[in-house]
Amino acid sequence: MLLAAYSSTTLTNFSACEVYTTQARLLHKAAGYTPDTRSFHMETGAKRGLLVRALVRLLTSAAARHKALLSAKPHVFESTILTVLTHMEETLIGTLPKEQQWSEGSILSAEVLALVSGGASSASLQELSSTSVVHWMTSQTHPSPGLLFPLVVTASRTILHLNHRNPIIQAGLTALFTYADWCGWEGEITWPTVISSLSFPLTNPNAMLSLAAQDGHLLVVYAYVRWQRQQTVRRGDASLLSSLLEMIEAFIPNATLELGLVLLLSEILDLTTYLVTHSRPVESIWLHSSTLASRLAVWAEDRSSSGILAAIGLGRQSPLSPGVRLICRCISTFLNTQMPRKGIFRTHPLHLHSDVDGSQGDSANGAACTLEQLRVLSTNTTYAALTHPLNEAIQFIEEPAHCLGDVHTLLAKLVSDILPDPLLRHLTVQFDIPEPSAPSPSILPQDFQMCLPKPDVDLGPEST
């Protein structure tokens, strides 16, 4: 009935816009969707899918037959796509119980995303449709994740073109985690839940990651890294860490990418501490950590406030906000104190502590962040509003009981105080770790220059 309604109206009697309006009304009426509808019969589910499929065919046909209309009035097509998506969302939320919304939403998502991935769509229509979906995800107020979640998951599984796939996944993840918690869905929209439902290329994902990083779609990179680590028994390997560090070496940060940057930083730190615990030898991990500390130092740079450079207004300054610059400097400083010598990580409270014990860290880059530099920031007016987190970070780094693994707690504290954004909320609750206590004398190391021991092995002689 729907397809008959679609094919019965010709383009000879009306303008293209009038044809679309007439056909859309017929399709909605055939599916039983009218303003006075109070209930739906048992065939409504099938009609929903047919309705969306017919509207998609209507759009692709109009774009194919009237190329001039698509180029002259793209807003007409964009408005139509936005209306279809909003109607889908309202229908799902208004007519289906919560437990059915994701399954039904997946069916409708596959139909509507054919505009982006289907062979019937022209390249111009695919581009416009992709932009429209992204716009709908990020600009609309969504009462629930009933359609958002299946749209993101379906996009990851059906859209192959990276120029369309990455932006939609980025926008969808941003929208899903914009709220601290969805009313009625408390605890259901979590990173593990979402990531376990996504799909990523199993072979040669480098093209996807490179393009995502280049375009600033850092949530896509973050989701992939966590997804990849979930696929194996081991939670990561040195090659993954190396790839991430190569990526951030070429990455040009800006203020709009700060949240994604912090997410990536948290995953790199987690991967680093995991590998230090589970891998031998650790020399390559030490070099990677030194590279990360140096890169964070660059991102933390402030324009010179004294001397000749300040007098002539020169000196490098990171494009990041003062808060994120402070996070980068604190993490870089902490890493440097936990790497007192080349190839050695400080993984026990009695290992040498750079800056505190007076040991000289062997940084691979001369531009290392130190505790002294961090203390100087307390007199810098740029960080006047950040005095509290700055002082807490200094105390945390100075505490000899804190070792390499406590970097997650430091990051969580900084994010909680400086960037209390819902997108980063899981970082502040994920590492709810009590303050470390001194170990039992029976397991004190004999040599304080030791690297992390192998799992479940008592601390013994020095090992690198």
- Specify whether 163 is located in the same domain as 266: no
| Mean pLDDT, range 182-188, rounded to an integer | 85
Confidence band of 31 (pLDDT split at 50, 70, 90): low
Cα 283 to chain centroid distance, Å, stands at 29
Task: For the chain, give the mean pLDDT.
Answer: 79
Task: List, in sequence order, every residue forming a beta bridge with 359; answer none if it has no partner.
Answer: 354
End-of-domain residue from the set 173, 197, 221 = 197
Range scoring the smallest mean pLDDT among 55-59, 202-206, 268-272, 434-438 = 434-438
Contact yes or no for 218/260 (Cβ under 8 A): yes
Backbone torsions φ then ψ of 451, nearest 5 degrees: -85, 180
- Specify whether 320 is located in the same domain as 239: yes
Residue span of the structural domain in which 46 resides: 2-35+42-197
Q: Is residue 216 one of the residues assigned to a domain? A: no
Q: Quote the pLDDT of residue 464.
A: 41
Tokens of 26: 């017929």
Higher-scoring residue by pLDDT: 405, 5: 405
Backbone torsions φ then ψ of 354, nearest 5 degrees: -55, 145
- Specify whether 274 is located in the same domain as 418: yes
The number of beta carbons lying within 10 Å of the beta carbon of residue 158 is 16
- Specify whether 292 is located in the same domain as 181: no
- What percent of the chain has pLDDT above 90? 40
- Specify whether 258 is located in the same domain as 192: no
Q: Which helix (H) or strand (E) holds 295?
A: helix 283-299
Confidence band of 352 (pLDDT split at 50, 70, 90): low
| Mean pLDDT, range 406-416, rounded to an integer | 95
Domain count, the chain: 2
Q: Three-state DSSP class for 336? A: helix
What pLDDT digit, counting tens, does each position of 66-88 carry? 788 788 888 888 998 998 899 88
CA-to-CA separations, 365 to 155, 164, 288, 315, 362, in angstroms, rounded: 42, 39, 12, 18, 9
Task: Select from 400, 424, 398 the least CA-distant residue to 411.
Answer: 424
Q: Is residue 17 one of the residues assigned to a domain? A: yes
Q: Is residue 421 one of the residues assigned to a domain? A: yes
Q: Quote the pLDDT of residue 463.
A: 38
Contact yes or no for 125/63 (Cβ under 8 A): yes
Give the dihedral sign, CA 28/56/103/192: negative
- Specify whether 286 is located in the same domain as 411: yes
- Specify whether 184 is located in the same domain as 277: no
Tokens of 156: 């990851």
Q: Is residue 140 one of the residues assigned to a domain? A: yes
Q: Quote the pLDDT of residue 315.
A: 52
- pTM as predicted: 0.80
| Mean pLDDT, range 374-379, rounded to an integer | 90
- Specify whether 252 is located in the same domain as 360: yes
Higher-scoring residue by pLDDT: 18, 141: 141
- Specify whether 56 is located in the same domain as 185: yes
| Mean pLDDT, range 16-23, rounded to an integer | 57
Q: Quote the pLDDT of residue 369.
A: 80
| Mean pLDDT, range 141-158, rounded to an integer | 94
Higher-scoring residue by pLDDT: 423, 94: 423
Q: Is residue 446 one of the residues assigned to a domain? A: no
Task: Mark 43-60 as b/e (b = at least 16 C-beta within 10 Å).
Answer: ebbebbbbbbbbbbbbbb
- Specify whether 30 is located in the same domain as 133: yes
Cα 425 to chain centroid distance, Å, stands at 12
Start-to-end CA span in the chain (Å): 73
| Mean pLDDT, range 44-55, rounded to an integer | 76
Cα 90 to chain centroid distance, Å, stands at 27
Q: Is residue 410 one of the residues assigned to a domain? A: yes
| Mean pLDDT, range 94-101, rounded to an integer | 85
Higher-scoring residue by pLDDT: 203, 324: 324
**Distance between CA atoms of residues 402 and 435, nearest Å:** 8
Q: Quote the pLDDT of residue 305.
A: 47
Q: Is residue 452 one of the residues assigned to a domain? A: no
Higher-scoring residue by pLDDT: 195, 437: 195
| 246 burial type by CB count under 10 A (0-12 exposed, 13-18 middle, 19+ buried) | middle
Q: Is residue 462 one of the residues assigned to a domain? A: no
- Residue 254 falls in which region: left (phi positive, over 0), alpha (psi -120 to 50) or beta: beta
Range scoring the smallest mean pLDDT among 88-92, 226-230, 360-364 = 360-364
Q: Quote the pLDDT of residue 32.
A: 59
Predicted confidence (pLDDT) at residue 458 exceeds the cutoff of 50: no
**Distance between CA atoms of residues 108 and 115, nearest Å:** 12
Contacts of 171 by beta carbon, 8 Å cutoff, 6+ apart:
133, 134, 137, 138
Contacts of 141 by beta carbon, 8 Å cutoff, 6+ apart:
none
| Mean pLDDT, range 146-169, rounded to an integer | 94
- Specify whether 54 is located in the same domain as 136: yes
- Specify whether 95 is located in the same domain as 238: no
